[in-house]
Amino acid sequence: MIKISPSVLTADFLTLTEDIRKLEAAGVDMLHLDVMDGEFVPNISFGNPIIKSIKAHTKLPLDVHLMIDRPHRYIDEFAKYADYLSFHFEAGSDNEATLKRIRELGVKSAIVIKPCTEPEEIFNLLPLCDMVLVMSVEPGFGGQKFMPDALRKLSALRDECKRQNLDILLEVDGGINAETAPLAVNAGANVLVAGNYLFSADDMAARVKEIKSI
């Protein structure tokens, strides 16, 4: 079963409630919220006050993606509203302790790898993860083209999860559209982050249906 996690990064925040209602009606599975600090990535997005507001206006699970430096400093705060909480392997935390802390707070834990990171580097962390996110673009900005090397990484993670007998969601983020979504699913992804492809559409429901039919 393919899950769709639309990224609100490219949405118009003045009409976000309306867009969330459209996404709910279209049958998406969660909302992907990219938190950027201007240090770990060269962009600034939003923080916990926005996430708190979104939480109050939807029953969809919130898939909070921390693109921030030393994320362990903020786990307790973001866990108040997140259903899935992910942070970057490369961001300078004690990754094992951070994953454990997320679970202690009753939130599903996830780790993210950038295009420069090989999947083997996180194999030892998989038992502490409920989800792994593979970036198929450089994190920081929406609307980038899909990097095909992400497919190899998804396949490697799928195989390792089977080897360790782990039931982990594999998420992919960046450049997902009608052409790249089937490739990602065939490689092992079962959660697709789609931003620009959905929010630029006249009919978001039709595009959600298109991806769900893979």
How many other CB atoms sit within 10 Å of the CB of residue 47? 15
Please name which of 77, 13, 10 lies closest in space to residue 48, comparing C-alpha atoms: 77
Nearest to 25 by CA among 59, 62, 65: 59
**Nearest Cα to 11, choosing from 41, 54, 61?**
54
Give the helix/strand (H/E) hosting 170: strand 169-173
83 is catalytic: no
Question: Which residue in the list 29, 63, 130, 173 is annotated as catalytic?
Answer: 173
Q: What is the dihedral of CA 100, 102, 108, 110, to 10 degrees?
A: -80
Catalytic residue, candidates 19, 29, 34, 37: 34
Examine the residue annotation and report whether 173 is marked as an active-site residue of this protein. Answer: yes
Tell me how crowded residue 107 is: count the other CB atoms within 10 A of its CB: 21
Instruction: Tell me the catalytic residues.
Output: 34, 173
